[in-house]
Chain A
Amino acid sequence: MSAILEVEGLAVRFGPTQAVRHAHFTVHQGETHCIVGESGCGKSVTSLAIMNLLARNGHRHAQKIIFAGEDIQAYSDRQMEEIRGNRMAMIFQEPMTSLNPSYTIGSQLTEVLRRHRNVSQAEAEARAMALMARVGITAPAMRLRQYPHQLSGGLRQRVMIAMALMCEPELLIADEPTTALDVTVQAQILRLLAELKQELGLGILLITHDLGIVARVADHVSVMYAGEVIESGRTADLFARPAHPYTRGLIDCVPVPGKIKAGEPLGSIPGTVPVMKEGFQGCAFRFRCASATDACTQDVPRHEIGAQHHVLCHHPVTDKGSRA
C-alpha cells in the first residue's frame, strides 16, 4: 500500500517552547497508525500542524509533510481549505470547542458536504442522517435539529465522527475520538473505522492514550515523549518487545479489569514531562528513567531493533523481563 501521509522532521515551537521535535511517521492507505504518549507530549499539536491549524503563536517547520504524493507545506490557505474536511478530515479532541454552539447539528453537518460537493440541502441531509445512523445515533431527524448543548458527551463525539466522514476522506486524523463513549459504542465506532479502512482504503492517524484500543486496532504505533517519537514499530512487536523505558512504563500502567488489587495504588510513572526549550540536549525521559546513566545527557542514538521497529534510547530494553 502506498503512503497517504509522510511526515519527516516535524518541529513546532510556541515561543521558546518546543512542543514537537523532529517527529516522523508514515500513514499508509488502508492502515491505522496510532500515536500514544503522555498528556502534553505534543500529539494534538502534531495533528494540528499537519492540518495547518496551529494557533497563531505556533510555528511549524518540517522536512516533509507529504499528503497523497504532494508536499502540502507550500500550499496556500485556499488549497488547504480545499483538502481540509474533504480529502483530509479531522476529529478534534474536544468536541465542544469544534462544534459551534449556536448552530444546529444538522446545519453543521450539511455545511461540510455542501462546501466541498455540489449537492442539494436535501441530499446533504440524507447523507448526514445515514452517517449518524452508522455511528449509532438513533432518531437522527430529531438530533439534526438539536444544538450541541442538548447532546450528551458521547453523542457530540459521534456527531464529530460523522462530520469527519461526510466527504469520504482519504486520510482521517482522529484525536481521542472515543474518550466520551462507553465500551460497547466505542467498539462499534472502531469497527466502523476498520470497515472504512477496508472499503475505501482510508488511512487513519489515531491519537489515543488507551492502549487497549491501540492493541486492538493499530497496524503501527508511534510513541511520543516530550515532542519526539521515541519508539515506533508494528503493533504486535511493540507490545511484545517494548524497547524504550517509557514505553514499558506506559504499558505497565494500564489498569486491566480483574487484575487490580483493591486498596493498592495504581502503577504510574512518577514525575512529569519536562517543558522543552531550545538547546535541550540528551534524552528528555532521563529525569524519570530508572535506566538513566551519564550517557543519557548526550544526544540519543536511534536504534533499529527489528523490521520497522526503532527506538531512541541509550539503553533500550531488548529482552522482555530484563529490566535494568
Chain B
Amino acid sequence: MSAALTLSEHGRSALVLDRGVAPGGQIFRSVSTSPLPDRTALGPDYAAGAELVSAYTNSRAKHVAGADVWHIGEDGRILYSHEGTTKQVEAREILICPGAIERPMPIRGWTLPGVMTAGAAQVMLKSDAMVAENAVFAGSGPLLYLIVAQYLRLGVKVAGLVDTTPAENYLKAAPLLPAALGGFGLLRKGLALLSEIRRAGVPVYRNATDLAILGDQRAEGLVFTSDGRQEIKADTVFLHHGVLPNPNMTRALGLAHHWNEDQLAWHVTKDAFGQSSLPHVSVAGDGGGIVGADGARHEGTLAAMNVLTRLGHFASDQRDRLAKPRLAQLRRLARFRRFIDRLYQPRPALRLPQDSETVVCRCEEQRLSDLRQGFEEGARDPNALKSRTRCGMGPCQGRQCGPIVSGLLAKWQDLPVQDVGYYRLRSPQKLLSLEEFSQFQTVVPDEGGTK
C-alpha cells in the first residue's frame, strides 16, 4: 500500500494483486470492513490502519482483491487466479510483498484438528469476528500476547497462556536493550499486554518446555513442563513462536536468498531499496526479512522511490536524498528488532521436532523417523530428501516443513543452514483446476504495467 501510494503521488499507477478480501494485509486486515462490534478492542494501531487504507483506496492504484498470484516469471509475466479464472499480466517492474507466515512448531499432535496458530486466531477474529472459547495459547512473542489480550478485551475466556520463552533469553537479550531504547514505546506495549493478561486472571505458565498436544482423534488439550508436569484441557490450542518471510514466490522466481542467524530465517538478498538479484524485481516488507508493520511501510516507500528512479522520474541522487530519513527510521527499528529477535528466539527443541513419531511434513505425513531414514540412505540436502521421502511435495509446497527440513539436515551434518540450502520451488504455487485454467484472460494494466 505504501509503495502504491508513493507511485501514485508521482503520477504513476500500480496494479496491486492481493489474495486478501480487502486491502490491509495482515496487520490491517479487514480494517475497513471489520464485522466486529467494537474494533477498538484490537488496539489503537489497528484502528489507525483505516487512515492508510483510505488514502490507498483513493489513490491511482488499482487494487484487485482475491487475486492469488501463482507464477511470476523472470520475463515479467505474472499469472494469477481471480474469480475462478486464470489471468495474465506483464509487468516491467515488479514489487513482491508476500508478508510473513508463522514459524512451524512441530510438537507431537500438532496435526490434530483443534490445533491452530495464534495468527489464525487473529485472522478469524479480524475477518469473521469468530473466536474459540476456552482455548489454550502456547508459545512466545508479542503476537501471541496481543491476541490473548484482544480475546480478553472482547470477553472471550482463555484457558491458559503457556509461555515457552526460555528464561535464559532475558539474559541474552539484555545487552541489546540500550540500543533498543529508541523502540522503548514498543517494548512497553509488550509488557503492558502481559500484565493485562495476568490481571484478567488467566493462568500464565512460564519457561515451558516439552509441549505435546493431548488427544488421538482431535485436540483435547496441552501437556507441558513448567514447575513440574502440567496439563490443560481444551478443544482448541493456538501455537505461535514468531514469524518467517513467506518464501514461495521469491524462491520460485529464483531470487538469491541467504540465512539470517539473528532471525533464524531465510531472507531475500536485496539492497537498501529492496532491489533483488533480478534488477526489475524488488521485495519489501516481511516477505524479504521480518521488519514489522512500520518497517514494511518504510520499505514499500523506498522500493517505490527506486522504481521511480528506474523509470526515469528521479535522478538517483534525488532518490537518495528523499530516502535518507526513511533509511534512518529503518535502522532505528532494526535495533529494536534485534532485541526482540533475541528475547523471543524460539527454543531449539520447539523449532525442530524431538520425538521420532512427530509429523514434519503435514501434507505427505512424513515423520521425523522417515526423514532420518532418508538421510541415512544418503539424502544430504532438502531436494534430495524431498525426492526420497516426498517430504515437501504436497499442496503446501513445503511452506510448513521447509524451515524444519533445512534445520534438521544442518543439525545432522553439523553444517551451517546456509550450506544445506532450501527446496527448489517451481510454479504454479497452488493447486489449479482444469476448469479454472481453461478460462484464460490477459489483463492490460494502465500506464506501462508497473505492478
**Do A and B form a real pair?**
no
A interface, CB within 8 angstroms of B: none
